Structure 1
Amino acid sequence: MECNIAAGIETRKAAPSDLAQRIIAQTSKGYHGPAILMLEDGTVFYGRACGASGTATGEVCFNTSLEGYFEVLTDPSYAGQIVTMTYPQIGNYGIDPADVQSAYPGSPERGASTPALRGMVVHDMCPTPSNWRSAISLPEYLKHAGIVAIEGVDTRALVRHLRDNGAQKGIISTEVFALAELAQLLEQAPSLVGENLVRTVSCGEPHPYTAADLPANHAFASAPAPEQAHYRVVAYDCGIKRGILEGLVRVGCELTVVPWDTPAEDVLAKHPDGVFLSNGPGDPDAVEETYSQVEKLIGKVPLFGICLGHQMISLACGAEMEKLKFGHRGGNQPVMNLISHRVEITAQNHGFGLVFPSLGALVPELSGGVSEHPADGDLRFWVERGVAPVVENERFGRIRLTHVNLNDGTAEGIQLLDQPAFSVQYHPEAAPGPTDAHYLFTAFTRLMDGDADYLNIDIAKDRLAGWVFATE
């Protein structure tokens, strides 16, 4: 149920009678107390509690994935956010702890496996999962983890509101229902813009991650790592997902994971074959301690960045970032690969994006003869022409646009042509999501091998390389 106090309209359902509460309590669903969601613009949604009791504030966003709610829930990139799942029923296949994405040692602020997000919004929460791998139901997990959640919300109306008006601060509560008091609490909550959330999700000390750390529970589906690692890689942990660590290990990398603010000199002293820059939450402009180190690493060692790591490389090159209206979150984002001219269906989770023209002026002879960036900023201009444009960057030479989001024409990937570095805005680890972008892990190994054509990979063939198929 929804109301808008700014318009002076408020409607709410009457509380169930004692008899109705007793009847509901005898069902598999069970009776749960009321909950409320208020947005920064005054829009209010009423529902039922389906997680921990309490009050939580954060930026309200939405994820369009049909599955993978547990991977979303435990993704450190959601720090500071209240996540709305657009699929109508959430929790129907339960939770296997082996799928957790944030269980790494050395995070003093939040512990090893506590979800970083602030809250969850769903239409219908399933309390009785059916799945051979399930060890606990989603609502039970939320209660144990202390995550406030609300169900019974018209998530279609909420998502349309966010698409029309943009992502904004919100507050969920199972204990405060006075709208004026909620509005006051919400006003006092910090904004996502300008806040460094990476420091809250990064590891505290360097630690290894090798083939021995791969979860045995995934062996039935995932191909094993090489018996002998071929590359020594230092991975900056800005909120890294375990699925990404697994993807790197499975292509032959032996990892040393380091905190987000590790000096470049300390990284180079380890003599790595490559450096990986991870995903992470929040405003990239607020993570200066990382991108200032990346600027020192470019040209010294091969670099690969994903999501926030892509933004760190871009900022190190002097680029500008923009806050997207409602971001990209889900496992169904179409991206055009301007190198292979194939469309990749990708998994994404970010609210900020690279302003590609800010990297430099176009090089016409390498950009299909075009000398000016499209006036409206829509990079589908290059998709229509089948051109991967190149700019001249003041710091690091030529930089090529390699990937474009087909939904809104934003930048999704770049390649430094005069330095060994590349990055993408989306996630190749398929946790959750499709496997179209698996080739990016292989591309990183080819870059470390010195292959100048490292991005020229048969995507369709490579995407199958990481999986085990049953044989009779």
Structure 2
Amino acid sequence: MASTSKGNTSPAVLLLADGTVFYGRSCGAAGTATGEVCFNTSLEGYFEVMTDPSYAGQIVTMTYPQIGNYGIDLADVQSAFPGDGSRPANAPAMRAMVVRDMCPTPSNWRSATSVPAYLQKLGIVAIEGVDTRALVQHLRDNGAQMGIVSTEEFDLDELASRLAAAPQLVGENLVKTVSCPEPHPFTTADLPAAHDFALASPAGEGVANPAVHRVVAYDCGVKRGILEGLVRAGCEFVVVPWNTPAAEVLAMNPDGVFLSNGPGDPDAVPETYTQVQQLIGRVPVFGICLGHQMISLAAGAQIEKLKFGHRGGNQPVMNLLTRRVEITAQNHGFGLVFPSLGALVPELSGGVAEHPTDGDLRFWVERGIAPVVENERFGRIRLTHVNLNDGTAEGIQLLNAPCFSVQYHPEASPGPTDAHYLFTAFARLMAGEPDYLSIDIAADRLAGWNFATEEN
């Protein structure tokens, strides 16, 4: 190894809770880390994955075989964490990383450092040389589970003992570990100049009276890319901590409230969804990922732990309103149980009076229907999006209040741009347009990108 670009490396081990063991080599910091072992199927964007706060409490496995070949540009960081005594500003929240092959010598004009150097600097344990195909197949068959990665301890009994004593993901409030401590603004001035080569100017910039919407964003572990996408759609934010009282938010007189993505078990974050319950109906609300789950819980719905979750930039979702398929970027391990929102309204659900008994929402995809339920708290709620891989709920729209949400990430950081229209939809909702979700997705998906502009 000393004669290769990797140099001398120390051994490392990954032990799963069910006793499965993978051996490899260290490609990050030395140490030991525990967390839920999950996998991401994105082919690119590993740095955005690494710095997504939604991975707090997790050990991230990348399914693409080589990671680090184009290095890291810090302008692409997704964490907006301000830093504290335990973790520096913008640092990743994930516990550890698992890859097949780590490239220590990147080649890219934007690269400022390598992935191994970045991980070592921030003290994040990583292991390479693992058969990630076998690991992912094991997780798909047996479900996501707790694991421990170590470069310093190789006694399996000792590792198993440490793992058994580690906190579990379910029931733990991880949101409070990644949220901002104080309110702060986020405007066009916060957009990274390094992205100007690819992205057009924000909506309204340079116009005498730009249509800027004032938004309060609950930071539950928000990705910068999501805030940047909304700013480019004409929003300016005050970002507030995860547990900010609804009364304080309403006192700011916002045009809308945004509920961000975030990590872990949504049932463990009642301080947020109880506030959302007080906001719905009083101000337009848009939720993404954990924000979608917060709206669902505010409506009294049930949330389930998925077997291995949805993580990657290639999740197919059917938009039941437009009948278009969106290829989406996702990162979550929990999902809404749609029937728990209420009984079906047959006259708005194609005459169907009972929910499908197997819970597979592709039932509605096959029939071309966006079903509506009667909810005890907020009236009628429509199912708008369904995951085509497993038939789980991916989006809802409240019909008696200005509120909608999706389970996925529309900002392409990393991932496709099919869901870009959701930023536009939120702006239209705040502008009072009743049919705010009726958008030509095909036309909107490239909006805001410089390469989509025709040259004269």
Task: State the alpha-carbon separation in 1 of the partners of residues 83 and 380 from structure 2.
Answer: 38
The question of 1:341 aligning with 2:323 is answered: yes
Task: State the alpha-carbon separation in 2 of the partners of residues 104 and 63 from structure 1.
Answer: 22
The question of 1:356 aligning with 2:333 is answered: no
* Structure 1 residue 105 displacement after superposition: 3.0
CA contact (8 A) 2:328 2:408 kept: yes
Task: State the alpha-carbon separation in 1 of the partners of residues 328 and 80 from structure 2.
Answer: 24
CA contact (8 A) 2:81 2:91 kept: no
CA contact (8 A) 1:101 1:243 kept: yes
Q: Which residue of 1 aligns with 2:58?
A: 81
* Structure 1 residue 114 displacement after superposition: 1.5
Aligned residues: 449
Aligned CA RMSD, in angstroms, stands at 1.0
State how 1:267-346 maps to structure 2 within 5 Å.
267-346=249-328
Going from structure 1 to structure 2, the CA distance change for 1:176 and 1:108 (only over 3 Å counts) comes to closer
Structure 2: gaps spanning 5 or more residues? none
Q: Which residue of 2 aligns with 1:47?
A: 24
Task: State the alpha-carbon separation in 2 of the partners of residues 184 and 365 from structure 1.
Answer: 56
* Structure 1 residue 229 displacement after superposition: 5.3
Q: Which residue of 2 aligns with 1:138?
A: 115
* Structure 1 residue 103 displacement after superposition: 3.4
* Structure 1 residue 106 displacement after superposition: 6.1
The question of 1:468 aligning with 2:445 is answered: no
State how 1:23-422 maps to structure 2 within 5 Å.
24-105=1-82, 110-225=87-202, 226-227=204-205, 228=210, 230-422=212-404
Task: State the alpha-carbon separation in 2 of the partners of residues 435 and 246 from structure 1.
Answer: 14
Letter of the 2:221 partner, please give it.
Answer: G
Task: State the alpha-carbon separation in 2 of the partners of residues 267 and 104 from structure 1.
Answer: 21
Which digits, 9 at most, give the CA deviation of each residue in 1:284-342, with x for residues without a partner?
Answer: 00000000000000000000000000000000000000000000000000000000000
* Structure 1 residue 223 displacement after superposition: 1.4
Q: Which runs of 4+ in 1 moved over 6 A?
A: none
> Tell me, what secondary structure is at the counterpart of 1:65?
coil
> Tell me, what secondary structure is at the counterpart of 2:267?
helix
> Tell me, what secondary structure is at the counterpart of 2:60?
strand
Q: Which residue of 2 aligns with 1:13?
A: none
Letter of the 1:272 partner, please give it.
Answer: P
Which digits, 9 at most, give the CA deviation of each residue in 1:186-242, with x for residues without a partner?
Answer: 000111000000000000000000001100000000111132451000000000000
Percent of aligned pairs with the same amino acid: 80
Task: State the alpha-carbon separation in 1 of the partners of residues 14 and 200 from structure 2.
Answer: 43
More off after superposition, 220-229 vs 350-359: 220-229
Structure 1: gaps spanning 5 or more residues? 1-23
Letter of the 1:245 partner, please give it.
Answer: L
> Tell me, what secondary structure is at the counterpart of 2:141?
helix
Task: State the alpha-carbon separation in 2 of the partners of residues 108 and 26 from structure 1.
Answer: 39
CA contact (8 A) 2:83 2:90 kept: no
Letter of the 2:430 partner, please give it.
Answer: M
Letter of the 1:68 partner, please give it.
Answer: G
Task: State the alpha-carbon separation in 2 of the partners of residues 430 and 335 from structure 1.
Answer: 15
Task: State the alpha-carbon separation in 1 of the partners of residues 54 and 413 from structure 2.
Answer: 13
Q: Please, what TM-score do these two structures have when normalized by structure 1? A: 0.94
More off after superposition, 461-470 vs 355-364: 461-470
> Tell me, what secondary structure is at the counterpart of 1:255?
strand
* Structure 1 residue 104 displacement after superposition: 4.2
CA contact (8 A) 2:10 2:25 kept: yes
Q: Please, what TM-score do these two structures have when normalized by structure 2? A: 0.97
Task: State the alpha-carbon separation in 1 of the partners of residues 81 and 59 from structure 2.
Answer: 22
* Structure 1 residue 157 displacement after superposition: 0.2
Letter of the 2:309 partner, please give it.
Answer: G
Letter of the 2:172 partner, please give it.
Answer: E
Which digits, 9 at most, give the CA deviation of each residue in 1:385-408, with x for residues without a partner?
Answer: 000000000000000000000000
* Structure 1 residue 101 displacement after superposition: 0.4
CA contact (8 A) 2:341 2:373 kept: yes
Which digits, 9 at most, give the CA deviation of each residue in 1:155-187, with x for residues without a partner?
Answer: 000000000000000000000000000000000
Task: State the alpha-carbon separation in 2 of the partners of residues 107 and 302 from structure 1.
Answer: 33
Letter of the 1:428 partner, please give it.
Answer: P
> Tell me, what secondary structure is at the counterpart of 2:450?
coil
> Tell me, what secondary structure is at the counterpart of 1:25?
coil
* Structure 1 residue 109 displacement after superposition: 5.2
Task: State the alpha-carbon separation in 1 of the partners of residues 282 and 245 from structure 2.
Answer: 14
CA contact (8 A) 2:80 2:222 kept: no
CA contact (8 A) 1:107 1:203 kept: no
Task: State the alpha-carbon separation in 2 of the partners of residues 289 and 157 from structure 1.
Answer: 39
